[in-house]
Structure 1
Amino acid sequence: MYNRILLPTDGSTEMEPVIDHAAEVAARHDALIHALYVVDAAGFASLPMETSWEGISELLYEEATSALNEVERIVDDQAPVERIVVEDRPHRAIVDHADEDDCDLIVMGTHGRGGIDRLLLGSVAERVVRRAPVPVMTVRVKESPVTDREPEMKA
């Protein structure tokens, strides 16, 4: 049913249950995991002109490498992993990659924010769910150790 699973990661420790779910689904369906790290350069547009973009860019790409290494470590031999790093807005990069690379499923974390937090902060997961051309499995992540890892499917 699934051949290509898109797994966006931000490199946070809270991503572990999300990666676990993606690995389990990929193993069950003999699927390839597209591990995607999005460098959101727009967040640094307001820096003073004298700030070296090269230094910041290098740090961001080091974070990407570390995040993708962690995906490979957790997935281990459950499924093959393709590493992808792009510069864009996260929700746009995720939706575009799912479409352009014929992914069948997106597995991503969500903090489950509601109310005013969601209105003020926005939600990458919510934007992806609304715009994605494929089903999205969201796995709730918490700041503290995760004990409830039930996924939520949205088509």
Structure 2
Amino acid sequence: MYTHLFVPVDGSELSERTFVHSVHLASKLGARITGFVAEPMPPLPTESSAMTSYLRQADEHRQRTEAHAQATLDRFAAHAAAAGVPFEGCFKRSDAVDNTIVSTAVEHGCDLLVMATHGRGALGELIFGSHTKSVISRSTLPVLVLH
């Protein structure tokens, strides 16, 4: 039925549970996984920041976010390898995370999005928002939500 799962993760404790459940599902389905991490863009320079200082901070940001994404995807890949599930990892920098998740899943030819939710409730969603709800509303692909 589903052969290519797209699984966005962020490196949190919730991501670790997502690794386990999505790998188990892919194993049962005989599917492969594309793991995905969206990292934030560097902050824009301010009027008071010197260009050389900004460029240095942007480069440090790039290195830090790339290292975080790679470490997260390496942990995910280890879970997949242990179960014999084919895995590919990718990351992008974006401030429009929800749109980037949806478009990247389509770019990779995935047929199911698998996401976790924090389950914060109405007040938590009002304050923090919900990437999962936003992805569900934007995606033409089916979305499986882990809670």
Q: For the superposition of Structure 1 and Structure 2, which TM-score range results when normalised by the shorter chain? A: 0.7 to 0.9
Secondary structure of 1:134 counterpart: coil
1:55 aligned to 54, 60, 74, which one? 60
2:137 aligned to 130, 139, 142, which one? 130
- Across the two proteins, how many residue pairs are aligned to each other? 139
Q: Once the two structures are aligned, what percentage of the paired residues are identical?
A: 26
Check 1:46–1:123 CA distance in 2 against 1; reply closer, same or farther (3 A cut).
Answer: farther
Of Structure 1 and Structure 2, which has the larger fraction of its residues in helix?
2
- What residue number does 1:28 align with? 28
Q: Distance in 1 between matches of 2:108 and 2:4?
A: 8
* Cα drift, residue 46 of structure 1: 6.6
Larger gyration radius, structure 1 or structure 2:
2
Normalising by structure 1, we get a TM-score of: 0.82
* Cα drift, residue 27 of structure 1: 0.8
Q: In structure 1, what residue type is equivalent to 2:44?
A: A
Secondary structure of 2:109 counterpart: coil
Q: Distance in 2 between matches of 1:105 and 1:41?
A: 26
Q: In structure 2, what residue type is equivalent to 1:138?
A: V
Q: Distance in 2 between matches of 1:3 and 1:26?
A: 8
Q: Distance in 2 between matches of 1:107 and 1:11?
A: 15
- What residue number does 1:121 align with? 128
Runs of 5+ consecutive residues of structure 1 not aligned to the other structure = 141-155
Aligned-pair RMSD on alpha carbons? 1.7
Runs (4+) of structure 1 moved beyond 4 Å?
Answer: none
* Cα drift, residue 138 of structure 1: 1.3
